[in-house]
Structure 1
Amino acid sequence: MSWILLLFAGLLEIVWAVAMKQSAGFTRIWPTAVMGVSMIGSFGLLAMAMRTLPLGTAYVIWTGIGAVGAFLVGAIFLGEAVTPQRILAAVLIVSGLVAMKLA
């Protein structure tokens, strides 16, 4: 169950990162509200997952899901640059997540 909570915490991290971008520096109310709610939910689910998962593992997986997910959303939906270096960085992050899970 902790892994499922951690997955949803990571997905909510993507939501709040994208909403933060869309808030235009907190000048748009609805993206700012979505950011706040999803941030609280993400931290809450992370905290619940950390009841049984090791700190380092949980935190690395959570930030990795958020980082790679934000990269993908930015590339697919926001037209952000997709360069070989950025793809390599995302692959390295995912490799680290797999290694952390297997360790």
Structure 2
Amino acid sequence: MTWHWLALLGAGIFEVLGVVGFARVSRGQALAGGLLMTLGFGTALGFLALALRGIDLGIAYAVFTGIGTVCGTLLGMLYWGESRHPLRIAFTALIVLGVVGLKMSG
């Protein structure tokens, strides 16, 4: 795995932190949530820019959003009481398969 892929993984993780901050803002924790959101999304975009130095845009963006979607879905189910319907889990698994396929193809 090249450093570009590690940067992309970091971008995805920081995007999730930004989403957690966004959720906190929507639940009335404006200051802490706003700081986490700004730090998370800002850092995510910085890491994404680094990743784009060695990964095609289409693949990088698909993987970036896939990481955010899967992790956001899991956090929602585990911490915020969102639906754990089997179809939701199955389609989330398909996103993971798609991300793995893109990594293998690139």
Tell whether the structures are fold-level matches, with TM greater than 0.5. yes
1:47 is matched by which residue type in structure 2? A
The ranges of structure 1 where at least 4 consecutive aligned residues each deviate by more than 4 angstroms after the TM superposition are: none
Q: Distance in 2 between matches of 1:77 and 1:26?
A: 17
Q: Percent identity?
A: 34
Cα root mean square deviation, aligned? 1.4
Query: What secondary structure, in the 3-state scheme, does the structure 2 residue paired with 1:23 have?
Result: helix
Report which structure shows greater RCO (CA 8 Å, sep ≥6).
Answer: 1
Q: TM-score, normalised by structure 2?
A: 0.91
Unpaired runs of at least 5, structure 2: none
Q: TM-score, normalised by structure 1?
A: 0.93
Aligned length in residues: 103
* 2:65 corresponding residue in structure 1: 63
Structure 2 CA distance for partners of 1:84 and 1:54, relative to 1, 3 Å = same
Q: Distance in 2 between matches of 1:76 and 1:25?
A: 17
